[in-house]
Amino acid sequence: MPLLEFTDRGIYCPLAGVYLDPWKPVDRALITHGHADHARPGHTHYLCTEAAAPVIRYRLRLENNLQTVKYGEPVVINGVHFTFHPAGHIPGSAQIRVEHQGEVWVFTGDYKLENDGVSEPFELVRCHTFITESTFGLPVYRWKPQQTIMDEINGWWRQNRAEGKVSVIAGYTLGKSQRIIGNVDTSIGNIFLHGSVDNILDIFRAQGMVLPKTQRVTTQHKKQDFEGSLVICPPSAVGSPWIRRFLPYSLGIASGWMSLRGARRRRGADRGFALSDHADWESLNTTVRETGAERVYVTHGYTEIYTQWLREQGLEAHAVKTHYEGELSEMVEGEEKTNPDPVEEQENTTGGTAT
């Protein structure tokens, strides 16, 4: 019996009777992180890291059915050892290591190697079988260092400010927003947040994350309050009436997809910033190599292409069909479709939108 199996509900450990990031309701679910395609509603019991728990509890409205562990703290179920290790993807995100009688599997969920200053930095876990995402598993994706991208964002903000424009930047609420707030040059001006970004930030602040001062956009604010400031909103707010209050503004979008000119232009943004929370081509290859795994399963992304590439590198690689969606869904679908935020819904009456 393999240690982990790929079923139509999710990745399953038959020995322990638990699922990893399942997409259909199950009894016991181990969750890598709070993004909607990995943490889904409807399971009976949840287990995740302490760091990821508050956001997951908030988004899925969980009460007493969520258990937590620390990074590295083992959970033993029927002789199978499970440990969570930082994935560097977003604050609280984890890879899950599964060990039974010396055989080790690692499931990455989503990950990136660069230390972004807000997420627990990625930890390499050696294993026999490695289950990796492949969101950006194509050689055209090569990230510039975070500081380079932040310099671009700072420069854009400064220029907009000089031209009397508000800088509106759209990025995923969970992960990207904290990363921008935590790294942007706050001496340029004030930072305003869309309600859904602010809600998540409140949760992280309550957990002890130290971030610069921000303000939530409310109906009380006047146009002149936003002058020269940076506004952070989810992609779904782009094109909604909510955004009109910042006119005149320049629109930036932060996503790994923005490294392609076509994707930049399609989004109709003034600027695209190629800031990704996923591993790029080089990082994927480095990680696969350094885990020492002799067998690799490739999940969401350029699954078949990356699998083929690994095979040509002499590895036993398999493509796996999952329901994870990667950054594409983060960018394209907006977010929280299944979990409307009650606070935002009230604001919707004044033109705001979160879904």
Partner 1 sequence: MKNFANLFTALDQTTKTLGKIDALVDYFRQAPDADKLWAMALLSHRRPKRTVNTTLLATWASAQAGLPLWLFEESYHVVGDLAETITLLLPPPRTASDESLTYWINFIRALEPLTIEEKRAQIYDAWSRLDHTERFVFNKLITGGFRMGVSQQLMVKALAKHTGTRETVLAHKLMGNWTPDQNTFTQLLEEEQHDISRPYPFYLAYALEDDVTTLGTPEEWYAEHKWDGIRGQIIVRDRQLFVWSRGEELVTDKYPEYTVMLDLLPDGTVLDGEILPFLDDRPLSFNHLQTRIGRKTLSTKLLREVPVAFVAYDVLEWGGTDLRERPMHDRRAILETICAQSHPVLRLSALVTFATWEVLAAERLRARELVSEGIMLKRKTSSYRTGRRRGDWWKWKIDPLTVDAVMIYAMHGAGRRANLYTDYTFAVWDQGQLVPFTKAYSGLTDDEIRAVDRWIKQNTLERFGPVRSVKPELVFEIAFEGIAKSSRHKSGIALRFPRIRRWRQDKPAAEADTLESLRLLLDER
| Site residues, Zn ion (CB under 5 A) | 35, 110, 324, 326
Which residues in the 117-146 window bind partner 1 by CB under 8 A? 138-140, 142
Q: Residue 57: which of 17, 92, 85 has the closest Cα? A: 92
- Residue 265, binding choice from partner 1, Zn ion, none, Cβ under 5 to 8 Å by partner class: partner 1
Q: Which of residues 254-283 bind partner 1 (CB under 8 A)?
A: 257, 259-266, 268-271
Pick the closer one to partner 1 by CB: 313 or 346: 313
Q: Residue 35's binding partner, choosing from partner 1, Zn ion, none, with beta-carbon cut-off 5 to 8 A by kind?
A: Zn ion
CB of residue 21 to partner 1, shortest distance in Å = 18
Distance set, CA 45 to CA 31, 225, 254 (Å): 10, 45, 34
Tokens at residue 355, please? 């879904």
**Shortest Cβ 298–Zn ion spacing (Å):** 13
Is 333 a binding residue for partner 1 by CB under 8 A? The answer is yes
Q: Are 26 and 45 in contact (CB under 8 A)?
A: no
Residue with tokens 């490739």: 298
CB under 5 to 8 A by kind: which of Zn ion, partner 1, none does 302 bind?
partner 1
CB 38 → Zn ion: shortest distance, Å? Answer: 6
The span from the CA of 251 to the CA of 235, in Å, is: 11
The residue among 225 and 270 lying less far from partner 1, judged by its C-beta, is 270
Q: Select the binding partner of residue 324 from Zn ion, partner 1, none (C-beta < 5 to 8 A, by kind).
A: Zn ion
Q: How many residues bind partner 1 (CB under 8 A)?
A: 25
State the minimum distance, in angstroms, from the CB of residue 306 to Zn ion: 14
What is the identity of the amino acid at 187? S
Cα–Cα dist 25/28, whole Å: 9
Q: What is the DSSP letter of 220?
A: T
Q: Which does 270 bind (CB under 5 to 8 A by kind): Zn ion, partner 1, none?
A: partner 1
Q: Give the residue with the Cβ less far from Zn ion, 216 or 323.
A: 323
Cβ closest to partner 1, residue 107 vs residue 281: 281
Angstrom distance (rounded) from CA 41 to CA 243: 30
- Tell me whether the omega of the peptide bond preceding residue 342 falls within 30 degrees of 0, making it cis: no
Shorter beta-carbon distance to partner 1: residue 5 or 163: 163
Residue 140 binds which one of partner 1, Zn ion, none, with CB within 5 to 8 A depending on kind? partner 1
Residue 309 in contact with partner 1, rule: CB under 8 A:
yes
Residue 261: C-alpha distances to residues 104, 226, 272, 288 (Å): 41, 30, 9, 29
Residues within window 1-60 making contact with partner 1, judged by CB under 8 A: none
DSSP-derived 3-state class of residue 20: strand
- Among 305, 315, 319, 343, interactor with partner 1 by CB under 8 A: 305
CA distances from 299 to 11, 137, 253, 296, 323 (A): 11, 10, 26, 10, 9
Q: Which residues contact 83 (CB under 8 A, 6 or more apart)?
A: 69, 71, 72, 73, 74, 75, 96, 97, 99
Q: Which of 124, 315, 320, 328 contacts partner 1 by CB under 8 A? A: 328
Residues 6+ apart with CB under 8 A from 197: 173, 177, 232, 233, 234
Pairing relationship of beta strands 18-20 and 11-13 according to DSSP bridges: antiparallel
Nearer to Zn ion (CB atom), residue 87 or residue 150: 87
| 302 is a contact residue toward partner 1 (CB under 8 A) | yes
CB atoms near residue 202 (< 10 Å): 14
Residues that bind partner 1 (CB under 8 A): 138-140, 142, 257, 259-266, 268-271, 302, 305, 308-309, 312, 328, 332-333
